């Protein structure tokens, strides 16, 4: 997630900007920059890499202005480089702007502006907003910056938190937000804006929290909040009691809990903007054309580790079902040692949230040596896998601090489902109308996940029962089996409770011997074509006295089974269901881990990224 800071007051802006950006470093970023009103114009200094690179820029010393904006960028569109770093300016350098979020219709807006003669200097969606605002002000020299921002905001689809300054108004910072956080505050004669509370906590604990489609005009200590039409509205003020560490976690106890609750937003960022509203075609930015000849591949391999292997399993079901291509999936560390059969007609999908997992990198390199095409699905722009792959599909989960994957897992499934649908579209195994219907169904996933997170009473109660358990089992059939695998992995890695997952039909072939009174067995029985069979497997467990915990849709008929606990989740397509169903199992593992006093964000023996084979 990018970081935004802004300052306007009677002091030099740069020190406040750098201090605020330093307090946002925990969010993860790959470049940083500031723009300061210098009286005669706007000066911009940007550096790829960490904040230290920006702080050591000699140009900063000359920036004496008292109004400025700053940014740390987590790349989503366009690789990390100085040109793509924020702040961005319009062609006439009339304004400078920083942005957090994803503009889903940036392609259309860019094309419109380019048709009007605007020349772009970066690959970012953010520059589109800067150029749009600058274009509006060039067209109407009397247009005030705040009005230009409001007019531009009405053209934007997607999520944004903006901070903007203009040459013609040296003391003003304008902020605007939709679906990405933005707070404002004052400190003495200064006015402040930030994407996150930690950036301004040292200056003030009394903040204005902007709501969606609100704009704030900051002039020193004067703040005016309006709606998107310019009508002044009552600012929502709150007093922050958190300490800095709690503020970095957004008030949640741990980064993992924060990241679990970020899933509705980051899923929307990952899924949004993929349907071309003119053609109805699914458009994957990173695969705008079939330049890699994916239309003609005759075999697919998925290679990944850990949680990414589990999302890869969902991709196997999705690609075979929709694109009708045979898919093999391998744990990356096994792949190249088993003499897999692949050639130039093979597609290898490397799934890795970090893009730096040594086993997966090695598997992808091996595939490329055998002339296969490699597509990376990763969360980190310009990571090793992103750089080396023939093409990349990015999850827009933002940085994941907790060692245990949560939001990156559900975003991987969404990205892989989109890739499967894109393959079906280019190969004609689905009509575009069928693809569009399925993508529309995906658009409901953020709200469905939010509904799961809105009521965790049953999950918290069940976790108390599991606190002293010695073993747990997770069962699922079809695409619910990866959900079971991931649920078991979460439980193992953060609560250290031994947990195993099996395909539901497999338990009776041996592991059933381990079931006796009160051994907890979670079964995912949400809507699917194998629902009835899965329930019969649950009955086998119930007959042995196991504790029956079901993940089910509302109103499910359990066929006489009397579960000990039911986690109700909204119904969706069974190839999307792992996104919704796995969230409740993430939370179960979380609550068991906290009940057992485990360090949820930093589990013993584990690293966030395994860069050794
Ligand atoms: C997941 O909770 C674990 N932290 C681990 O299994 C992880 O998924 C695995 O190491 C792969 O990491 P990657 O997605 O960055 O490649």
CATH number, domain with residue 400:
3.40.50.10490
Average pLDDT estimate for 316-328: 98
The percent of residues above 90 in pLDDT, for the chain, comes to 76
Atom 3 of ligand 1: nearest residue by CA position? 404
Q: Looking at the structure, do residues 479 and 364 belong to the same domain, yes or no? A: no
Q: How far is the CA of 308 from the centre of ligand 1 (A)?
A: 6
Helix extents (H) in 192-331: 244-248, 255-261, 263-271, 306-318
Confidence of residue 283 (pLDDT cuts 50, 70, 90): confident
Q: Looking at the structure, do residues 158 and 189 belong to the same domain, yes or no? A: yes
Instruction: Give the pLDDT confidence of 59-116 residue by residue, as tens digits.
Output: 899 899 999 999 998 877 777 788 888 999 999 999 999 999 889 999 999 999 999 9
Q: Is the peptide bond before 504 cis (omega within 30 degrees of 0)?
A: no
φ, ψ at 132 (rounded to 5°): -65, -45
At residue 531, the pLDDT reads: 84
Q: Residue 611 falls within a domain, yes or no? A: no
The dihedral over CA atoms of 487, 492, 496, 500, expressed in degrees to the nearest 10, equals 100
Mutation choice for ligand 1 from 330, 361, 610, CB with most ligand atoms inside 8 A: 610
Structural contact between residues 80 and 178, judged by C-beta atoms closer than 8 angstroms: no
- Token pair belonging to 495: 């609560």
The percent of residues above 70 in pLDDT, for the chain, comes to 99
- Token pair belonging to 390: 């023939």
Helix extents (H) in 377-504: 384-388, 407-427, 432-442, 445-454, 457-466, 480-495
Cα–Cα distance for residue pair 412/452, rounded to 1 Å: 19
Q: Residue 448 falls within a domain, yes or no? A: no
At residue 54, the pLDDT reads: 94
Global confidence as pTM = 0.84
Q: What is the DSSP string of 16-53?
A: HHHHHHHTTGGG--SEEEEEEE-SSSEEEEEEESSHHH
Which residues are part of the catalytic machinery? 2, 608
Q: Looking at the structure, do residues 225 and 300 belong to the same domain, yes or no? A: no
Cα–Cα distance for residue pair 225/149, rounded to 1 Å: 13
Place of tokens 């960022």: 269
Ligand 1, residues at Cβ distance < 6 Å: 305-308, 352-354, 357, 360, 403-405, 493, 609-610
Structural contact between residues 414 and 270, judged by C-beta atoms closer than 8 angstroms: yes
DSSP one-letter code for 63 = -
Instruction: Point out the ligand 1 atom lying closest to the alpha carbon of residue 403.
Output: 4
Confidence of residue 58 (pLDDT cuts 50, 70, 90): confident
pLDDT of residue 314 exceeding 70, the answer is: yes
At residue 287, the pLDDT reads: 77
Average pLDDT estimate for 199-212: 92
- Provide the CATH number for the domain around residue 212: 3.60.20.10
Q: Looking at the structure, do residues 71 and 201 belong to the same domain, yes or no? A: yes
Average pLDDT score, the chain: 93
| 3-state SS, residue 173 | strand
Q: Give the residue from 443, 461, 477 where a domain finishes.
A: 443
Cα–Cα distance for residue pair 199/244, rounded to 1 Å: 9
Q: Distances from the Cα of 481 to the Cαs of 302, 473, 537, 578, in angstroms?
A: 16, 12, 13, 9
Confidence of residue 1 (pLDDT cuts 50, 70, 90): low
Total number of domains in the chain: 3
Residues 6+ positions from 503 with CB-CB distance below 8 Å: 475, 476, 477, 481
At residue 290, the pLDDT reads: 75
Structural contact between residues 366 and 338, judged by C-beta atoms closer than 8 angstroms: no
Q: Looking at the structure, do residues 483 and 390 belong to the same domain, yes or no? A: no
Q: Residue 605 falls within a domain, yes or no? A: no
Q: Looking at the structure, do residues 383 and 491 belong to the same domain, yes or no? A: no
pLDDT of residue 183 exceeding 80, the answer is: yes
Instruction: Point out the ligand 1 atom lying closest to the alpha carbon of residue 607.
Output: 4
pLDDT of residue 289 exceeding 80, the answer is: no
pLDDT of residue 495 exceeding 70, the answer is: yes
Atom 4 of ligand 1: nearest residue by CA position? 404
Q: Give the residue from 246, 264, 289 where a domain finishes.
A: 246
Q: Distances from the Cα of 295 to the Cαs of 373, 417, 428, in angstroms?
A: 12, 17, 9
548, with CB counted inside 10 A (0-12, 13-18, 19+), is buried
Instruction: Give the pLDDT confidence of 422-470 residue by residue, as tens digits.
Output: 999 999 999 999 999 999 999 999 999 999 999 999 999 999 999 899 9
Q: How far is the CA of 335 from the centre of ligand 1 (A)?
A: 17
pLDDT of residue 291 exceeding 80, the answer is: no
Q: How far is the CA of 353 from the centre of ligand 1 (A)?
A: 7
For residue 367, what are the domain limits? 255-443
Helix extents (H) in 140-286: 145-153, 244-248, 255-261, 263-271
432, with CB counted inside 10 A (0-12, 13-18, 19+), is middle
Q: Residue 574 falls within a domain, yes or no? A: yes
Q: Looking at the structure, do residues 321 and 374 belong to the same domain, yes or no? A: yes
Cα–Cα distance for residue pair 497/468, rounded to 1 Å: 9
- Token pair belonging to 102: 């994803």
Cα–Cα distance for residue pair 258/246, rounded to 1 Å: 11
Q: Looking at the structure, do residues 203 and 286 belong to the same domain, yes or no? A: no
Look at residues 28, 32, 133 and name the one whose alpha carbon lies nearest to residue 91.
Answer: 133
Q: Residue 158 falls within a domain, yes or no? A: yes
Cα–Cα distance for residue pair 1/262, rounded to 1 Å: 11
At residue 166, the pLDDT reads: 97
Lowest mean pLDDT of 7-21, 279-293, 388-402, name the range: 279-293
Atom 15 of ligand 1: nearest residue by CA position? 354
Q: Looking at the structure, do residues 426 and 508 belong to the same domain, yes or no? A: no
Q: Residue 612 falls within a domain, yes or no? A: no
- Burial code (b: 16+ CB inside 10 Å, e: under 16) for 271-289 equals bbbbbeeeeebbbbebbee
Q: Residue 554 falls within a domain, yes or no? A: yes
Strand order in the sheet with 520-524: 498-503, 471-476, 520-524, 547-552, 565-568
pLDDT of residue 550 exceeding 70, the answer is: yes
Q: Give the residue from 213, 246, 279 where a domain finishes.
A: 246
Strand order in the sheet with 237-239: 42-48, 31-37, 67-73, 3-8, 190-194, 183-187, 206-209, 237-239
Q: Looking at the structure, do residues 263 and 408 belong to the same domain, yes or no? A: yes
Q: How far is the CA of 406 from the centre of ligand 1 (A)?
A: 10
Structural contact between residues 193 and 183, judged by C-beta atoms closer than 8 angstroms: yes
Instruction: Give the pLDDT confidence of 352-381 residue by residue, as tens digits.
Output: 999 999 999 999 999 999 999 999 999 988
Q: Looking at the structure, do residues 199 and 261 belong to the same domain, yes or no? A: no
Q: Residue 196 falls within a domain, yes or no? A: yes
Q: Looking at the structure, do residues 423 and 352 belong to the same domain, yes or no? A: yes
β-strand 222-227 against 214-219: which pairing, if any?
antiparallel
At residue 322, the pLDDT reads: 98
């Amino acid at each position: 997630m990018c970081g935004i800071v802004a300052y306007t007051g009677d002091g030099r802006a740069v020190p406040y900007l750098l201090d605020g950006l330093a307090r946002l470093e925990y969010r993860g970023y790959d470049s940083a920059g500031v723009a300061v009103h210098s009286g005669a114009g706007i000066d911009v200094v940007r550096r790829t890499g960490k904040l230290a690179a920006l702080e050591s820029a000699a140009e900063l010393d000359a920036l004496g202005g008292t109004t400025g904006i700053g940014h740390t960028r987590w790349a989503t569109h366009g690789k990390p480089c100085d040109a793509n770093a924020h702040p961005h300016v319009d062609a006439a350098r009339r304004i400078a702007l920083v942005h957090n979020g994803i503009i889903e219709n940036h392609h259309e807006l860019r094309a419109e502006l380019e048709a009007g003669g605007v020349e772009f200097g970066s690959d970012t969606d953010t520059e589109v907003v800067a150029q749009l605002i600058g274009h509006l002000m060039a067209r109407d020299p009397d247009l005030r910056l705040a009005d230009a921002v409001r007019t531009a905001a009405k053209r934007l689809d997607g999520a944004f938190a903006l901070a903007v300054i203009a040459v013609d108004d040296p003391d003003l910072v304008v902020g605007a937000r939709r679906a990405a956080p933005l707070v404002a505050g004052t400190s003495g004669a200064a006015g402040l804006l930030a994407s996150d509370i930690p950036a301004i906590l040292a200056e003030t604990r009394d903040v204005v929290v902007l709501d969606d489609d609100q704009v704030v005009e900051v002039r020193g200590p004067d703040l005016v909040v309006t709606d998107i039409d310019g009508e002044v509205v009552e600012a929502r003020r709150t007093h922050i009691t958190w300490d800095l560490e709690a503020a970095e976690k957004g008030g949640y106890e741990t980064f993992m809990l924060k990241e679990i609750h970020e899933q509705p937003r980051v899923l929307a960022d990952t899924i949004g903007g993929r349907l071309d509203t003119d053609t109805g075609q699914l458009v994957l930015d990173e695969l705008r054309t079939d330049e890699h000849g994916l239309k003609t591949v005759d075999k697919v391999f998925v290679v990944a580790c850990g949680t990414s292997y589990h999302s890869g399993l969902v991709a196997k079901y999705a690609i075979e079902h929709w694109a009708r291509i045979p898919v093999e999936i391998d744990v990356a560390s096994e792949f190249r040692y088993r003499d897999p059969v692949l050639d130039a007609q093979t597609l290898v999908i490397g799934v890795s949230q970090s893009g730096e997992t040594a086993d997966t990198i090695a598997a992808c390199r091996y595939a490329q040596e055998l002339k296969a095409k490699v597509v990376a699905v990763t969360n980190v722009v310009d990571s090793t896998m992103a750089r080396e792959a023939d093409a990349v599909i990015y999850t827009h989960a933002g940085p994941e601090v907790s060692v245990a994957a949560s939001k990156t897992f559900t975003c991987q499934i969404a990205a892989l489902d989109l890739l499967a649908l894109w393959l079906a579209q280019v190969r004609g195994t689905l009509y575009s109308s069928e693809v569009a219907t399925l993508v529309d169904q995906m658009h409901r996933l953020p709200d469905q996940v939010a509904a799961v997170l809105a009521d965790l009473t049953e999950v918290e109660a069940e976790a108390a029962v599991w606190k002293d358990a010695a073993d747990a089992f997770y069962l699922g059939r079809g695409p619910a089996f990866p959900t079971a695998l991931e649920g078991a992995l979460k439980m193992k890695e953060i609560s250290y409770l031994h947990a195993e997952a099996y395909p539901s039909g497999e338990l009776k072939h041996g592991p059933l011997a381990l079931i006796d009174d009160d051994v907890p067995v979670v079964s995912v029985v949400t809507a699917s074509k194998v629902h009835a069979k899965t329930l019969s497997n649950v009955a086998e467990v119930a007959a042995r006295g196991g504790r029956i915990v079901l993940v089910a849709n509302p109103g499910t008929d359990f066929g006489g089974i009397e579960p000990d606990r039911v986690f109700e989740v909204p119904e969706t397509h069974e190839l999307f269901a792992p996104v919704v169903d796995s969230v409740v199992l993430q939370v179960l593992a979380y609550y068991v881990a906290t009940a057992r006093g485990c360090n949820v964000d930093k589990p013993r023996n584990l690293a966030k990224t395994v860069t050794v084979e």
